[in-house]
Amino acid sequence: MIPEIGHFALIMALVVSVVLTVLPLLGATFSNERWVALAKPAARMQLLFMLLAYGCLTYAFITFDFSVRYVASTSHSSLPLLYRISGVWGAHEGSLLLWALILSLWMGAVTVFSRSIPRVMLARVLGVMGFVAVGFLLFLLVTSNPFERLIPAPADGRSLNPLLQDPGLAIHPPMLYMGYVGFSVAFAFAVAAMLGGKLDAAWTRWVRPWTNIAWMFLTLGIALGSWWAYYELGWGGWWFWDPVENASLMPWLVGTALIHSLAVSEKRGAFKAWTVLLAVFAFSLSLLGTFLVRSGVLTSVHAFASDPGRGLFILLFLATVVGLSLTLYAFRADRFKSDVSFQLFSRETGLLLNNVILVVMTATVLLGTLYPLVLDALGVGKLSVGPPYFNSVMVPLGIPLVIVMGLGVLLRWKRDSISRLGTDLALLVIIAVGVGLLFSLLLHYDWEGYDWEGMAAIGLIMAVWIAVTTLFWVWKQKRTASVWGAALAHAGMAIMIIGISLTSLYSSEKDIRLSAGQQYQLAGYDFQFQGVKKVSDVSYDAYQGIVDISRNGQPVSHLEPQKRVYRVQTMPMTEAGIDAGLFRDLFVALGEPLEGDAWSLRVYHKPFIRWIWLGAILMAVGGILAAGDRRYRLKVEGRSHA
């Protein structure tokens, strides 16, 4: 009964979304007050139905209702409560339902924080989001209904993929989706501005907090995914340029560009048409990411062919959204022409360069991700583009980006001159180069004895450059929340650059063969293998290795990496043993049993890897801080009295 209620609620949500799309948008065009007024209650009602539908599916999961096909294929009677709740988004259907629910949550949030927004504008924003909801709900109901019954019900389910039975991955998809779908708000505002033909500073102040919050979630979601891949897959890497990762990186890059372009639109009234275009692209790339991950084209072009409905549907929907918004853009962009001018040497130019570089980066990732798929779909050939492509392109693009990043915050709006900046600039450059070099030499001579690498020095100089320019900027500024937010985000980038440079250059990793009692030295640490014992848990049996790590005779750590076999799926899984530290991680993963009591082991020494995720957390905090700036709220109070 409960699943049928869920199914019914989903259908009702679709009906309400259609109403939400059609009436307010028409009402806004033909000045029909009553239709315009429908937007807010309709959006809230849609949210209620979505909550009901989602609640029903969760209920089916918690109560082990294996007569629901989706529950039977992703759950099992042995799963603990946490993974029954997160199991809801453990596979295709439920994950789309989560996507749609999050869209409704964002709509609900817009209705709550909309007091300052004119009613017509609000009607258009919610109407556009309603349109997106129609697309996704149709997709759910037509091709991927999570409430479909399986009669007769099996005695037990096929269980959740063991990879997903992990707290880190349990919250990764909701975070990522909050980010992806969050860009729909900026997108809806952009389309609403195009429909209304007007885009002013007030508009940018409505959009900026939403964009920041979406960006914050996306940043955290990507970082969580990277952290999870690091400790769970047993590969010890933090980024693989896997198409699924790229699918999340592209909206992040464009979203970052959007945040900066919005700043110019708010402060200077320039770049307006460009801002609108970026908002359209950020959301389109989020949809593309959903398409890539959810259609199955990535794991297999055959999955696409065997169920053409799903892939084709998202592709058509993507084409509709992009096509309609670009057509609208073609007709309306000229209305956003900005009449303000700026000099070549100004903050506007800095932010322009920021945008150009970020967009070029996005394009290179897009090329490397889509080209193999297109060739394969056309039957021309099967090829893949490896990490060296992405690395060799992103590093040379990243360096100018960082230089502009530091320079941009120093520059004044509209016009600036070298002579004004002269001594300060020279001083900052000297500090950055000096301190960066000093650090790289310290790493070499004094501390860890890493080889001196030019790229490490460049990475450190870049990081210090961002840090000192940001500090200088904060010092010279009136320190509002948005200044602190931007400063924190930039500092986060500096920390992330340190992490990326030093991890990439100084990691040592080795696959070795050890018998019980043998030891191996890596990066000054002695890894003593004490053998393997068998252990068991609720859902798996495991071999557990014991590795004692010491340095110069002093014990450092004791690790117990596992090789698990999950009983339900009989699927092996590597659970690495990690000794985490601010300056280095020690990482041991069990390979396979060899003759006698020998095992193959994978040992890593990963310097500064934590800094990558630490930087991401700082960026996210910066994003939320900036979104809370008083000037976005002051407007609210001012308007509501008017």
Interface mask toward other proteins for 489-528; x: CB under 8 A? ----------------------xxx---------------
| 382 binds other proteins per the rule CB under 8 A | yes
Cα separation values, 101 from 11, 385, 504, 520, Å: 13, 35, 39, 51
To the nearest whole angstrom, how small is the minimum distance from the Cβ of residue 606 to other proteins? 17
Q: Which of 58, 78, 161, 518 binds other proteins (CB under 8 A)?
A: 161
Determine the interface stretch with other proteins among 81-89, 247-255, 299-307, 433-441 (rule: CB under 8 A). 299-307
Cis check: omega of the bond before 152, within 30 degrees of 0:
yes
Cα separation of 212 and 620, whole Å?
A: 9
C-alpha distances in Å from residue 621, one per residue of 351, 439, 485, 617, 627: 22, 27, 7, 6, 10
Please give the residues from 392 up to 411 whose contact with other proteins meets the rule CB under 8 A: 392-393, 396-397
Considering only residues 433, 571, 617, 636, which one is a binding residue for other proteins as defined by CB under 8 A? 571
**Which residues have CB under 8 Å from 374's CB, separation 6+?**
none
Q: CA-to-CA distance for 490 and 481, rounded, in angstroms?
A: 14
Q: Which of 302, 479, 533, 630 binds other proteins (CB under 8 A)?
A: 302
Q: Which stretch binds other proteins (CB under 8 A): 56-64, 141-149, 207-215, 572-580?
A: 572-580
For the bound state, the minimum distance from the C-beta of residue 252 to other proteins, rounded and expressed in Å, comes to 19
Nearer to other proteins, 5 or 360 (CB): 360
DSSP label at 154?
P
Backbone φ and ψ for 521, nearest 5 degrees, come out as: -105, 130
The pairing of strands 525-536 and 584-593 is unpaired
CA distance 195 to 198: 8
Closer by beta carbon to other proteins, 158 or else 444: 158
Residue 594 in the binding site for other proteins (CB under 8 A): yes
102 in Cβ contact with 175 (< 8 Å)? no
**Shortest distance, position 28 Cβ to other proteins, whole Å:** 37
The CB-of-432 to other proteins minimum distance in angstroms stands at: 23
Interacting residue with other proteins among 118, 572, 581, 628 (CB under 8 A): 572
Contacts (CB under 8 A) with other proteins, residues 334-353: 341, 343-344, 349, 352
Residue 386 or 524: which CB sits closer to other proteins? 386
Crossing angle for the helix pair 92-112 and 2-29, to the nearest 10 degrees: 50
Q: Is 595 in the site for other proteins (CB under 8 A)?
A: yes
Token reading at 140: 């759910």
Q: Is 600 in the site for other proteins (CB under 8 A)?
A: yes
DSSP letter (8 states) at residue 593: E
Q: Is 166 or 629 the residue whose CB approaches other proteins more closely?
A: 166
Q: Which is nearer to other proteins, 429 or 568 (CB)?
A: 568
Number of CB atoms found within 10 A of residue 161's CB: 16
Helix (H, G, I), strand (E, B) or coil at 151: coil
378 binds other proteins (CB under 8 A): no
The nearer residue to other proteins, 234 or 499, going by C-beta atoms, is: 234
- 544 binding other proteins? (CB under 8 A): no
DSSP string, 33-71: HHHHHTHHHHHHHHHHHHHHHHHHHHHHHHTT-TTBHHH
Torsional sign, CA 30, 33, 35, 41: positive
C-beta atoms surrounding 552 within 10 Å? 8
Under the criterion CB under 8 A, does residue 48 sit at the interface with other proteins? no
- Per-residue string for binding with other proteins, 203-242, x by CB under 8 A? ------------------------------xx--------
Considering only the stretches 25-33, 173-181, 381-389, 404-412, report the one whose residues sit in contact with other proteins under the rule CB under 8 A: 381-389
What token pair was written down for 471? 């500090």
Tokens of 47: 């949210």
Distance of closest approach, residue 549 Cβ to other proteins, in angstroms:
19
Q: How far from 535 is each of 300, 517, 561, 562, CA to CA, in Å? A: 36, 20, 12, 9
- Residues binding other proteins (CB under 8 A): 161, 163, 233-234, 299-302, 306-307, 341, 343-344, 349, 352, 356, 360, 363-364, 367-368, 371, 381-386, 388-389, 392-393, 396-397, 511-513, 563, 569-574, 589, 591-592, 594-595, 600-602
